[in-house]
């Protein structure tokens, strides 16, 4: 069976308290990187679904995140 490397295009909205938009982007970006699945989580997923290779790359940030003030 052929093997594919797939760049999944997805986004997540993260609400953070921060002094400014730059700090908000930094905190949210670090959170998303922290969410990356571990080898154990990939193995656990693969036990119940069609398998995903453990060489799957971690989540990454592609470009600058957009920060919008939503209140105090």
Convert the pLDDT of each residue in 19-45 to its tens digit.
999 999 999 999 999 999 999 999 999
pLDDT of residue 29: 93
Count Cβ atoms below 10 Å from residue 71 Cβ, excluding itself: 3
- The predicted model scores a pTM of 0.78
Residue 17, both tokens: 């308290």
**Which two structure tokens, joined as six digits, stand for 42?**
């990939």
CB within 8 Å of 46: residues ≥ 6 apart: 52
Domain boundaries, the chain: 10-72
* Mean pLDDT, residues 50-67 taken together: 90
Per-residue model confidence (pLDDT) at position 10: 87
Question: For residues 33 and 65, what is the distance between their CA atoms, to the nearest angstrom?
Answer: 13
**Predicted confidence band at 52 (pLDDT cuts at 50, 70, 90)?**
very high
- How far, in Å, CA of 7 to CA of 54, rounded? 15
Q: Work out the number of other CB atoms within 10 angstroms of the CB of residue 69.
A: 9
């Amino acid at each position: 069976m052929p093997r594919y490397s797939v760049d999944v295009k997805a986004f997540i909205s993260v609400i953070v308290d921060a002094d400014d938009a730059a700090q908000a982007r930094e905190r949210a970006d670090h959170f998303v990187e922290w969410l990356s699945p571990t080898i154990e989580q990939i193995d656990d997923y693969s036990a119940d679904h069609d398998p995903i290779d453990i060489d799957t790359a971690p989540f990454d940030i592609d470009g600058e995140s957009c920060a919008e003030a939503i209140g105090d």
